[in-house]
Chain A
Amino acid sequence: MSKDEWEAEWERVLWKKKPYPDNYVPRSFLSSLSKNPNFKPYTYWQLVILSCSISQHLASIYVFLAVFMGLRQRLLDPRALVWISVGVFFTGYAIWEILERGRADSTVRTTNRAKTVKGSILVFLALMSLSPVLKTLTAATSSDSIWALSASLFILNALLADYTALRPQSHRRERLTSVLSMNAAISSSVVLASRLSDDISVFGLILFSVQTFALFPMLRRRIQDTAKPLQILVTILLCGLSIALTYPLSSTATYLYIACYTFVTFVAPGMLVWAQRFKNEIRGTWDPAVPKVYRRLSVSR
């Protein structure tokens, strides 16, 4: 029997008895294979805009480090830092309220406001009473270990941070990684603060770290959802601030920061755009189907 006859006989069924051998490869073999079916290539500038949130997060870490060095070398008055923190808090909250306007209804916003006031007073008082304890927390540990520990915790913080935009309607819970990220940053600032010499500096630094690592990411993610110019403006301001604060302390660190920003904002998106040419996603009838269900009782998998 010839190959043509086999080809004519071939059917994609298993229940019929067929004349061709079991390893016969029909012409339609792999005809249902599709490559990169829902592939939307990224464009360079779109990725640059998306990378802004990473730059902002890195900038906030660098600003925090600069503030710490300022306190440690007594270049910055801790009282001024406390006032700056309070000022930044009110500015940030005002921006939040403006962005929130028209999104939630007024009763919800009033209760939210009451919660915020209560929460911020509690944090303020708790930090104030805890700062003498925190000051001596790591007295028995050498500074070298502290630098290494805080560096690794900040790296963890940057890796796990949530860089997605905060959609107004989504009230879903925080992801585990973003909670871990915040905890890493706060622990890192606690161990750094324990290197400072007086209570008010410790208090000022921890207060500032709560602003930078707990509250600012929320605002950052909300800003990400608004107009692009605002986002770019915030990024430039933050990066500029971090460089301006660091330059008097160390020029090497400043150059490193600039290299870091350039890489994250301009080089990395270019690399991703280049790497897209290797994308090879194969789809076919063997793929597990995605069930379309409207009323879902649970999301367990």
Chain B
Amino acid sequence: MGINIAMVCDFFHPGVGGVENHIYMLSANLIRSGHKVIAITHSHPPDRVGVRWLLPSLKVYYIPFPTIASSATLPNYFTFLPYLRTIVLREDIQLIHGHASLSSLAHEGILHAHLMGVRTVFTDHSLFGFDDAASILTNKLLEAALRNVDAAICVSHTGRENTVLRARIPPERVHVIPNALVAEQFRPSPVPPGGDTITVIVLSRLAYRKGIDLLVATAPRICARFPNVRFVIGGDGPKMIDLLQMREKYLLQDRIAILGPVRHSDVRNVLVQGSIYMNTSLTESFGIAILEAACAGLYVVSTRVGGVPEILPEDTISFANPDEDDVVRAMSEAIELVSAGKHDPLRAHERIKDFYDWKEVTKRTEAVYESVLESEPCDFWTRLQRTLDLGRFAGIIFAIILLVDCLFYMFLDWYLPEDELDMVEMHWEPEHFQEAVDEYEHSKKSETA
């Protein structure tokens, strides 16, 4: 018997990015193993509104909330409840899975879940510092949201340490389940990029956190040192101007190709043009881009930050400190190694393709869901006590939010009683699908016979 799961996150299709992709792939695989999954996100007016279906029967609710910045909605704690209550009750949801620590919809979903007797899981995808005003504020919001969560998932051991410190939750409640990739989508090209030219690929958002300053400082030095090296840089962002300036200043227009934004479906085709992948990120929770490049048979040079050292064996990736000279050193070694023909893309792909698998990730996530559903939910007083423990001021504020939320729920219960709601009936189940497939194949067989 499958579980009815609601994925709640501000960041979802049609937005693109690591979180969006993760939610989609996880949902698709959960559906495949017999669960019912819906996704709840904010709408993208004018055309992405209402209820939509995504391919393997994933229903997406687009809630009409305006966004404030970079696709995040305003944390207002109550306005989501009327929508969420109706959706959860109609869809008979048993578990809410929130994603991303900057998504206020996910926080709200976790806050409201206990009112409907729904259990909660939260996945944190990113790393945050502790020493600036924005981090202090968002860490407090996260701590409040995760006070009463049943389980949390982080994508790397570094991410787990970070989340435990930020949200002050017991470490045994946090699970480490990595991201995954579809290895078939990142096959190296059957003909390795030949010739003397060595192409270095950089695919990244061009932002400060991705270490574009390091790229800007090292690319001309590498070009000067190795006349047979060219760069292909994909992505867009505020640092684009610096890159263009650098290319113009050192007259490297014929050796540095700047592609601009690259669609995720085109990533593989860009990757296989080169033989070295360079990543200069200053912080990275998991580094899926590195994994994709390594899987496509590229030799990876990366800065040693965050969770990157955990994702691949030491001998398939070479590390540099986030310092100009050391990046040049690591890149020079990589270029020499690749030009000596010591790196075989096909062998690297064969080795890496089995490390990560969505089926495995789904199985491990299911185990978390099951343990959460088996555990005893904590009662209201424990919740209130835990919330009050948040701090002298924050505790009271969030306790008031919790209480008002309960009153609001009581009002909604009176205004729109549960027995007046139309339940969603799914006429389409995996068994039906299998039956249809069998029938089709049977008819085909009898036709040929």
Contacts and interface: CB of A to CB of B under 8 A. Distances in A.
Interface of A: 12-15, 17, 21-25, 29-30, 32-33, 281-282, 284-298, 300-301
B217 A286 contact: no
A287 B322 contact: no
A39 to B, nearest CB: 12
Contact of A29 (B161, B177, B238): B161
Interface of B: 127-131, 151, 153, 156-159, 161-162, 164-165, 171-178, 208-209, 211, 213-214, 216-217, 238-239, 241-242, 245-246, 249, 280, 282-283, 303, 305-307, 309-313, 322-325, 355-356, 360, 364, 367-368
B245 A297 contact: yes
A25 B175 CA distance: 9
B298 to A, nearest CB: 17
Given A23-B172, A295-B217, A14 B157 contact: yes
Contacts of A294: 217, 324
23 contacts: A21-B175, A22-B153, A22-B176, A23-B175, A24-B172, A29-B161, A32-B161, A281-B131, A285-B158, A286-B127, A286-B159, A286-B161, A286-B162, A287-B129, A287-B283, A289-B211, A291-B282, A292-B322, A293-B214, A293-B324, A295-B217, A297-B245, A297-B246
A20 to B, nearest CB: 10
A25 B156 CA distance: 13
Contacts of A13: 310-311, 313
Contact of B177 (A22, A290, A300): A22
Contacts of B303: 289
B239 A300 contact: yes
Nearest to B221: A295
A286 to B, nearest CB: 4
A194 B302 CA distance: 65
A291 B320 CA distance: 11
Given A292-B324, A293-B214, A293-B324, A14 B176 contact: yes
A294 B216 CA distance: 11
Nearest to B128: A286
Among A33, A287, A295, find the residue whose CB has the most chain B CB atoms closer than 10 A: A287
Contacts of A301: 208
Given A22-B175, A25-B171, 5 more contacts: A15-B310, A22-B153, A29-B171, A286-B283, A288-B305
A278 to B, nearest CB: 14
A289 B310 contact: no
Contacts of A30: 161, 164-165
Contacts of B280: 291
B243 to A, nearest CB: 9
Nearest to A13: B310
Nearest to A26: B157
Contacts of A285: 158, 161, 305-306
B217 A296 contact: yes
Nearest to B307: A14
A209 to B, nearest CB: 35
Interface of A is mostly: loop
A29 B242 CA distance: 39
Contacts of B283: 286-289
Contacts of A297: 216, 242, 245-246, 249
Contacts of B214: 291, 293
A57 B200 CA distance: 56
B245 A298 contact: yes
A212 B151 CA distance: 62
B175 A33 contact: no
A99 B153 CA distance: 61
B312 A15 contact: yes
A298 B217 CA distance: 11
B305 A289 contact: yes
Contacts of B208: 301
A14 B178 contact: yes
Contact of B172 (A15, A25, A282, A295): A25
Contact of A15 (B151, B241, B356): B356
A23 B46 CA distance: 42
B311 A14 contact: yes
Contact of A289 (B175, B177, B322): B322
B120 to A, nearest CB: 15
A290 B282 contact: yes
Given A12-B310, A297-B242, A288 B157 contact: no
A98 to B, nearest CB: 42
**9 closest Cβ pairs, A-B complex:** A292-B323, A289-B322, A22-B175, A288-B283, A15-B355, A286-B162, A14-B178, A286-B127, A293-B217
A294 to B, nearest CB: 6
A291 B360 CA distance: 36
A292 B355 CA distance: 33
Contacts of B307: 14
Nearest to B326: A292
Contact of A300 (B162, B242, B246): B242
Given A282-B165, A289-B305, A298 B282 contact: no
Contact of B213 (A14, A284, A291): A291
A293 B209 contact: no
B133 to A, nearest CB: 15
B181 to A, nearest CB: 12
A299 to B, nearest CB: 9
A281 B156 CA distance: 23
B216 A288 contact: no
Contacts of A32: 161
A14 B156 CA distance: 7
Contacts of A12: 157, 309-310
A14 B367 CA distance: 17
Among A30, A285, A298, find the residue whose CB has the most chain B CB atoms closer than 10 A: A285
A281 B130 contact: yes
Contacts of A24: 172
A32 B162 CA distance: 11
Contacts of A293: 213-214, 216-217, 324
A270 B83 CA distance: 53
Contacts of B172: 23-25
Contacts of B176: 14, 22-23
